[in-house]
Structure 1
Amino acid sequence: MAAKWIETVTGSLEQKKQYKANKARMQALPAPYRTAVDAIERYLTYFGAINKGDVLVTMFQDLGDLFEQAAADGTPIRDLVGADPVEFVEAFLANYAEGQWISKERQRLIDTIDGITEA
């Protein structure tokens, strides 16, 4: 019972465990990959505005998978992110748009306008 109450207040404990495990996985990457993924994660945290825990965890797991594979293959960071790292991150983030708070607000705007124009 207490765990359910705690999760209501703080969010899913399982998602927190997954996030921490993924964070540890990314910290185990070789230095240049770890530095790049830390910078990307920071940008995603500030710019991404993801408000759904499950989407956030999935996004960071996918990012970890991408960088683990690149490190294993020896893919240079610039080959992975391209000439414009911001463009890369924003294209990556577009795959997780359903988790952004702005998606809810966009739908709210559409529904409001539809509601007043159909009357």
Structure 2
Amino acid sequence: MSWIEKVTGPLEQKKAYRDYKARVKALPGGYRQAAAALERYLMFMGPSNDGKSLIAMLDDLVELLEQSAAAGTPVRDVLGANPVEFAELFMDNYGGGSWIRKERARLSTSIERAVAQGQEP
């Protein structure tokens, strides 16, 4: 890793992100808006501690939207009635985690420990 990459991060990830943005820009209007909305959500909720997983997730997302646009599949048919549910299920396929995912796991583990200890009078 060069000294520039140590300061700015891996250059191949930056190039991959720029390529992703160019692909999104080429999408038809509604698909482009959906991609932007999903990207915003995934950036906050997705694998924030793993740039490689984030780039893979965004690439897969734009590929799905490109294929849907080419096939004439409406955005609602792709995302379903609940876009948050779609995004959460989509993220589950990728490694890494956000602080929210970590806190959800911590809460579940803590409650399981409390239940295992039983209720004391």
* Same-fold call, TM cutoff 0.5: yes
Q: State the partner residue of 1:41.
A: 39
Q: State the partner residue of 1:57.
A: 55
**TM-score, with normalisation over the residues of structure 1?**
0.80
Structure 1: where are the runs of 5+ without partners? 111-119
Once the two structures are TM-superposed, the CA of residue 101 in structure 1 deviates from its matched residue by 4.5
Q: Where does 1:25-104 land on structure 2 (aligned, <5 Å)?
A: 25-96=23-94, 98-102=95-99
* Identity between Structure 1 and Structure 2 (%): 54
Q: State the partner residue of 2:19.
A: 21
**TM-score, with normalisation over the residues of structure 2?**
0.78
1:43-97: per-residue Cα shift (whole Å, max 9, x none)? Answer: 111122422111111110000100000000000111000010100001001111x
| Paired residue type of 1:10 | T
Return the alpha-carbon distance in structure 2 between the equivalents of residues 79 and 25 of structure 1.
21
- Aligned partners of 2:53 and 2:96 also within 8 Å: yes
Structure 2: where are the runs of 5+ without partners? 110-121
Return the alpha-carbon distance in structure 1 between the equivalents of residues 102 and 72 of structure 2.
39
Moved over 2 A (4+): 101-106
The number of aligned residues is 105
| Paired residue type of 1:28 | A
More helix per residue: 1 or 2? 1
- Aligned partners of 2:46 and 2:98 also within 8 Å: no
Q: State the partner residue of 1:116.
A: none
Matched, 1:12 2:24: no
Computed over aligned residues only, the root mean square deviation of the Cα atoms, in angstroms, reads 2.1
